[in-house]
Chain A
Amino acid sequence: GAVVSQHPSWVICKSGTSVKIECRSLDFQATTMFWYRQFPKQSLMLMATSNEGSKATYEQGVEKDKFLINHASLTLSTLTVTSAHPEDSSFYICSASPSLNTEAFFGQGTRLTVV
């Protein structure tokens, strides 16, 4: 199957700093990628849709100035958590699909801990 790579797999940062998470589709091009957030024992909640060459679409309640998304190429989307706070600590995971209406391929996820 298709491969989506996410980096880093875990990160610890100080409160107030910014953290960048990368999501790459390794063997296919993705005009759209998706960013999810997951709290322990809960479901994946869609944060935003990353669109290549245009602005991301954010879900209601997600601060676009805090969670900056850039999709500069057909194989790379980045999520930057700006001025991170302890409440931003969570599991972040991206997904992409090689074509419409097929299974989603997920990155390995990133466990963010803000101290």
Chain B
Amino acid sequence: AQKITQTQPGMFVQEKEAVTLDCTYDTSDPSYGLFWYKQPSSGEMIFLIYQGSYDQQNATEGRYSLNFQKARKSANLVISASQLGDSAMYFCAIPTGNQFYFGTGTSLTVIP
């Protein structure tokens, strides 16, 4: 099983500012993928961004980017230009096969 830690249970950010959500992990797999999901209050899980352990460049998807530091087993999510609609729970996850293991989550609140 993968072990994933998100040390920030709650975060606040001013609208239009950038925010970094932390994620550290422990895996024995030589090759793995790191996913970030957003879960608004409606409960749906929305895929945000992915990075493979052997990808050379940090992944970016619009306002989302990954600060991936493999040696430190860290994959922080950076959200730039925060919007009110970004307020949600955020989970990082690593799969084994198609079974996903999730971190404890970070509740992000964007302040107008």
Residues of A within 8 A of B (CB): 1, 32, 34, 41-44, 46, 49, 91, 93, 95-97, 100-106, 108-109, 111
Contact = CB atoms under 8 A, between A and B. Distances in A.
Nearest to B4: A43
9 contacts: A1-B47, A32-B97, A43-B102, A44-B102, A95-B45, A102-B98, A103-B47, A103-B50, A104-B95
B60 interface: no
Interface stretch (B12-20, B64-72, B75-83, B103-111): B103-111
A43 B99 contact: no
B21 to A, nearest CB: 14
A111 B43 contact: yes
Given A1-B47, A41-B107, A109-B43, A96 B98 contact: yes
Contacts of A105: 47
Interface of B: 33, 35, 42-45, 47, 50, 89, 91, 93, 95, 97-105, 107
B99 A91 contact: no
Nearest to A31: B98
Nearest to B107: A41
**How would you classify the secondary structure of chain A's contact residues: helix, strand, loop or mixed?**
loop
Contacts of A44: 45, 91, 100, 102
B13 to A, nearest CB: 18
Contact of B98 (A1, A41, A97, A108): A97
Contacts of A96: 98
Q: Across chains A and B, which 4 residue pairs bring their CB atoms closest together, nearest first?
A: A106-B45, A109-B43, A97-B98, A43-B102
B98 A32 contact: yes
A106 to B, nearest CB: 4
A109 B44 contact: yes
B100 A100 contact: no
Contacts of B97: 32, 100-101
A43 B91 contact: yes
Nearest to A99: B98
B43 A104 contact: no
B38 to A, nearest CB: 11
